[in-house]
Amino acid sequence: MCGVFGIWEHPEAAKLTYLGLHALQHRGQESAGIVAASAENKTRFDRHIGLGLVADIFSEPVLKQLSGRRSIGHVRYSTAGGSGIQNAQPFTVEAQRGPLAIGHNGNLVNYEDLRSDLERQGAIFTTRSDTEILLHLLARARAPRIEDRVRDALAQVEGAYTLVLMHQDGIIGVRDPSGYRPLVLGKLGDSYVLASETCALDLIEATLVREIEPGEMVSITAKGLHSERLVHDPDAKRRACVFELVYFARPNSQIFDRSVHEARFALGQVLAKEAPADADLVIPVPDSGVPASLGYADLSGLPFRYGLIRSHYVGRTFIEPEQAIRHFGVKLKLSAVRSVLEGKRVVVVDDSIVRGTTSRKIVAMLRSAGAAEVHLRISSPPTTFPCFYGIDTPTREELIAARLDLKGTCDFIGADSLAYVSVAGLHQAVKDTHPKGFCDACFTGEYDTGVDTIRKKMLKVVA
């Protein structure tokens, strides 16, 4: 769960990176960073990183110091390595052949094995982040061309990686051979832009050129754009993360050549078809449940109403009352609208249930605001397995759907009924084509990359 951005040869490179990161803020709120360089002094990389939100980290004076016409940036949500400032990206190093900067989205499955191998060979690490491994592998690669060094380094890693790299003569964008995480290519005038999602291109008024293909590396230099394949895994199957479409990406983005909003709307329609409810209203859990609720209302013919309002001013820290005020955490974020709910049988649509604690609080809140019946509908299948490819999910034991059956989950949550989209319905809604083009491991346990390492990890957790 991170976002990456890069721009090559633009007079306001760092400012545009700042805006791009702002548009990608939903992909990570723990830290952000920008690295910038100029053609005149291409061995000097200026970097600024910070904890928190993009708008709080970068001020006008800070951005002025990040001068130069080339820049990459990163927003981070830690899924590996903890949330301290030392893990904020992009990372920069002085390698033998010049400076390197890297921003990474995804998780490397064989991180621990690679790290202990490197440590045995004398490597010293300053972070717990799996991205630092990539820098070590890059620094050790011997090929004269940077693209070949990137390919050689990546041949050793298993897992999910969308990368933006900057070296002294260009920027590089890479998607792993399965294409777990998104990456798009855009153009702003003559400048090339790389971004996790198209919403970043829209904000800076760049046009979408195309999606970077799974297993593709694009190298952008003074000579223009050059594309090549990471040939090390010719058998890799395309496995875009379906949860990006379910929850993670922004609805106004287009990723994996699909509109995120359309995919969510279609999920709501499939849900209404598979799990109708005898009810008076459809209400969304804002914001994540809104597009699917619209789809549910569309197909079911039930009226759509805002029965829950979301506050957009919930800070990171707040003072909890010592005397128990029940459901306090959720109350800060969501408020029920009594006039909509009173005496009504409502269908509540949300995108997913992870631990079940949020849904339980929402159902209690709706009942106390007068809802006569609460039918919970979830626009994805039950989350029963953890993700090893970059989505933050707890261990299997903490996933409510892995512990309890449908009735047990419904009882815990306190709803009158509960239903999820089926796995087949999910693939239908995202217009998956045969053979399977999406990773659905969090719903099925069918991992396709680093399977042996994942098996070992899961056994270790159970032991």
Catalytic site residues?
A: 2
User: Any contact of residue 350 with ligand AMP (CB under 6 A)?
Assistant: yes
> Which CB sits closer to ligand AMP, 308 or 341?
308
Q: Using CB under 6 A, count the residues that bind ligand AMP.
A: 16
Site for ligand AMP in 383-422 (CB under 6 A): 391-393
> Which CB sits closer to ligand AMP, 2 or 154?
2
How far apart, in whole angstroms, are the C-alpha atoms of residue 66 and residue 165?
17
CB of residue 358 to ligand AMP, shortest distance in Å: 3
CB of residue 8 to ligand AMP, shortest distance in Å: 32
What character string, x for contact with ligand AMP (CB under 6 A) and - otherwise, covers 83-112?
Answer: ------------------------------
CB of residue 287 to ligand AMP, shortest distance in Å: 9
Single residue of 356, 382, 425, 450 touching ligand AMP by CB under 6 A = 356
Region of 126-134, 264-272, 297-305, 345-353 interacting with ligand AMP (CB under 6 A): 345-353
User: Any contact of residue 29 with ligand AMP (CB under 6 A)?
Assistant: no
How far apart, in whole angstroms, are the C-alpha atoms of residue 136 and residue 152?
12
Single residue of 174, 353, 365, 418 touching ligand AMP by CB under 6 A = 353
CB of residue 387 to ligand AMP, shortest distance in Å: 8
Structural element, H or E, at residue 200: helix 198-203
DSSP secondary structure letters along 304-354: B---EEE-S---S--PPPSS--TTHHHHHHEEE-HHHHTT-EEEEEES--S
Integer angstrom CA distances of residue 63 from 21, 24, 87 = 13, 18, 21
> Which CB sits closer to ligand AMP, 34 or 336?
336
> Which CB sits closer to ligand AMP, 169 or 392?
392
> Which CB sits closer to ligand AMP, 71 or 409?
409
> Which CB sits closer to ligand AMP, 31 or 71?
31
Report strand pairing: 345-350 vs 258-259: unpaired
Site for ligand AMP in 274-293 (CB under 6 A): 285, 288
DSSP, res 109: T
Tokens of 234: 């010719």
In three-state form (DSSP H/G/I as H, E/B as E, the rest C), the secondary structure along 427-447 is HHHCCCCCCCCEECHHHHCCC
Q: Phi first, then psi: what are they for 447, rounded to 5°?
A: -80, 140
User: Any contact of residue 354 with ligand AMP (CB under 6 A)?
Assistant: yes
CA angle centred on 96, ends 91 and 97, rounded to 5°: 90
The residue type found at 274 is E
How far apart, in whole angstroms, are the C-alpha atoms of residue 429 and residue 425?
6
| CA quadruple 362, 364, 365, 368: dihedral, nearest 10 | 160
User: Any contact of residue 30 with ligand AMP (CB under 6 A)?
Assistant: no
Single residue of 247, 304, 389, 412 touching ligand AMP by CB under 6 A = 247
How far apart, in whole angstroms, are the C-alpha atoms of residue 404 and residue 255?
33
CB of residue 295 to ligand AMP, shortest distance in Å: 16
CB of residue 362 to ligand AMP, shortest distance in Å: 8
User: Any contact of residue 364 with ligand AMP (CB under 6 A)?
Assistant: no
Determine how many CB atoms are found less than 10 A away from the CB of residue 144. Answer: 7
Sites of contact with ligand AMP (CB under 6 A): 247, 285, 288, 350-359, 391-393
